[in-house]
Amino acid sequence: PSNSLSAPRNRPEGKVLETVGVFEAPKQHGKYETGQLFLHSVFGYRGIVLFPWQARLYDRDVASPVTEKSENAAGHGSKEVKGKTHTYYQVLIDARDCPHISQRSQTEAVTFLANHDDSRALYAIPGLDYVSHEDILPYSSTDQVPIQHELFERFLMYDQTKVPPFVARDTLCAWQEKNHPWLELSDVHRETTENIRVTVIPFYMGMREAQNSHVYWWRYCIRLENLDSEVVQLRERHWRIFSLSGTLETVRGRGVVGREPVLSKEQPAFQYSSHVSLQASSGHMWGTFRFERPDGSHFDVRIPPFSLESNKDEKTPPSGLHW
The residue among 127, 149, 184 that closes a domain is: 184
pLDDT, tens digit (0-9, with 9 covering 90-100), for 108-117: 557 767 655 5
All residues at 6 or more sequence positions from 67 whose CB lies less than 8 Å from its CB, including other chains: none
Residue 66 confidence (pLDDT): 47
Of 136 and 323, the structure prediction assigns the larger pLDDT to: 136
Clarify whether residues 163 and 31 are in a common domain.
Answer: yes
Domain housing 227: 191-314
320, part of any domain? no
First-residue to last-residue Cα distance in the chain = 44
pLDDT higher than threshold 90 for residue 181: no
Length of the chain: 323
Q: Where among 184, 205, 232 does a domain terminate?
A: 184
Q: How many domains does the chain have?
A: 2
The answer on 162 and 28 residing in a single domain is: yes
CA angle 27, 32, 37 (to 5 degrees): 100
CA atoms of 306 and 299, how far apart (whole Å)? 22
Burial of 196: CB neighbours in 10 Å, binned 0-12, 13-18, 19+: buried
Say yes or no: 134 and 272 in one domain. no
Q: What backbone phi and psi angles, to 5 degrees, belong to 99?
A: -60, -25
Do 149 and 244 share a domain, yes or no?
A: no
Residues 202 and 233 in one domain: yes
Higher pLDDT, 101 or 303: 303
Q: Indicate which CATH number applies to the domain containing 262.
A: 2.60.40.1470
* Residue 20 confidence (pLDDT): 77
Structural domain includes residue 3: no
Report the range of poorest mean pLDDT among 68-77, 195-204, 222-231, 296-305: 68-77
**In this structure, are 156 and 139 located in the same domain?**
yes
